[in-house]
Structure 1
């Protein structure tokens, strides 16, 4: 199971459990002060307030599993399982004693006690056991399968962001500016004329010292 699947499943189960508590779990018909009988519907939130709180906590834990680092599963996994177990117990208590759990709703709505009330238990209390049991299984799955999840923590990405920003604002290295070769100085007309008089080529840029014709060794007389 991937991190995304675990988070979506946790949100689906806890959200379903919360919506179930908005339905009427118990219907009671009680005598009123006028001598007639009134029908009162007690929702899951009225019959079992703990189930509502546990569904909200499981929803928050599922969201935290997807927003924080991989180590958060060590907390959110057991927490989701405990929320499912608590909701399961609360649902079973409503099934075993519906009149006792509807008493507060009856007293609030009719201003009389629940004595002599006709109690009809709806299916929603039993249906709430399904997402509760699945939350119990989801908790250990997050704890065990989360070992293979890739670390995609928002906080770890933010920690690496300053390095990228520093590289982006780092000064660029100085670029070498090509230097154009200086143009040779204009030749002196008098020097050119003197070179032509000596029989030298004024366009030859070679060093006269390297001219083999000026080598003193060539002017030495041959040995006998």
Structure 2
């Protein structure tokens, strides 16, 4: 009668805290990448439109987000770099970089919204009208702004959310440098060194030439 095979120990299920940390890590990476991409794409789109009044008629003018203000794009790039740097530092440095990511996200959203609600958008349209007509200053009427500034602001909110997740769960996230560390601090090539007293290859060949078995005992009787 055969005995049943021994039961193999089952892998313990992940703790709720570690599962939440992994979900937060994935959410932060997705939010940060999507947020930065949304800001950079929106910066190249048309934000404002208007009509320049000229003696000979009307001239439509348009400005992109980058022409209105370059602050959202700059902050989004800094925020994206901060998101990557979160995994390159530890402890206090990680908290500092996460706080920088939060500030970049909040600043991006505020800069995108204030560019259309303040006078920056109209000033950019007037500068565009002046450049198109060759005048010192252009007068623009029927000014309107589309949805792209709000897309940029939404991207800033996503960067802000990524920073908040990094502040809350960043302590348990892995670091890039951990992949390059070796257990026990051993140096490369240390395991390949022969142990003291081990037979060298030339000694084994000499034993074979003498008709001895180098694997028996301590390598056979040597003269």
TM-score range for the pair, normalised by the shorter chain length: 0.5 to 0.7
**Corresponding position: 1:81 with 2:105:** no
**Greater Rg over alpha carbons, structure:** 1
Preserved CA contact (<8 Å) 2:112 2:150: yes
Q: Which residue of 2 aligns with 1:49?
A: 70
Summarize the alignment of residues 9-88 of structure 1 with structure 2, pairs less than 5 Å apart.
Answer: 9-31=31-53, 35-66=56-87, 68-71=88-91, 72-88=93-109
Could you say if the C-alpha distance between residues 92 and 179 of structure 1 is closer, same or farther in structure 2, counting changes exceeding 3 Å?
A: same
Q: Deviations over 1:72-106 (max 9, x none)?
A: 43132111111111112212212313313433333
How many residue pairs get aligned? The number is 177
Shift, 1:25, TM fit: 0.3
Quick check: 1:100 aligned with 2:112? no
- What is the aligned partner in structure 1 of residue 159 from structure 2? 135
CA distance in 2: counterparts of 1:164 and 1:101, whole angstroms: 60
The TM-score, its normalising length taken from structure 2, stands at 0.68
Indicate the SS of the match to 2:56: coil
Distance 1:179 1:74 in 2: 66
Higher relative contact order at CA 8 Å, sep ≥6: structure 1 or structure 2? 2
**Unmatched 5+ residue regions in structure 1?**
183-224
State the distance in 2 between where 1:160 and 1:69 align: 18
After superposition, the CA RMSD in angstroms is 2.7
Identify unmatched segments of 5+ residues in structure 2: 1-20, 200-217
Query: Structure 1 residues 149 and 130, CA, compared in 2 at 3 Å: closer, same or farther?
Result: same
**Given the two structures, how large is their TM-score scaled by the length of structure 1?**
0.67
1:126 aligns with 2:168: no
Q: C-alpha separation between the residues in 1 aligned to 2:78 and 2:162?
A: 14
CA, structure 1 residues 88+149, in 2 after alignment: closer, same or farther (shift >3 Å)? same
Structure 1 moving runs of 4+ over 4 Å? none
**Contact 1:94–1:101 (CA under 8 A) maintained in structure 2:** no
Shift of 1:159: 4.5
Whether the aligned pair in 1 keeps the contact of 2:122 and 2:143 (CA below 8 Å) is: yes
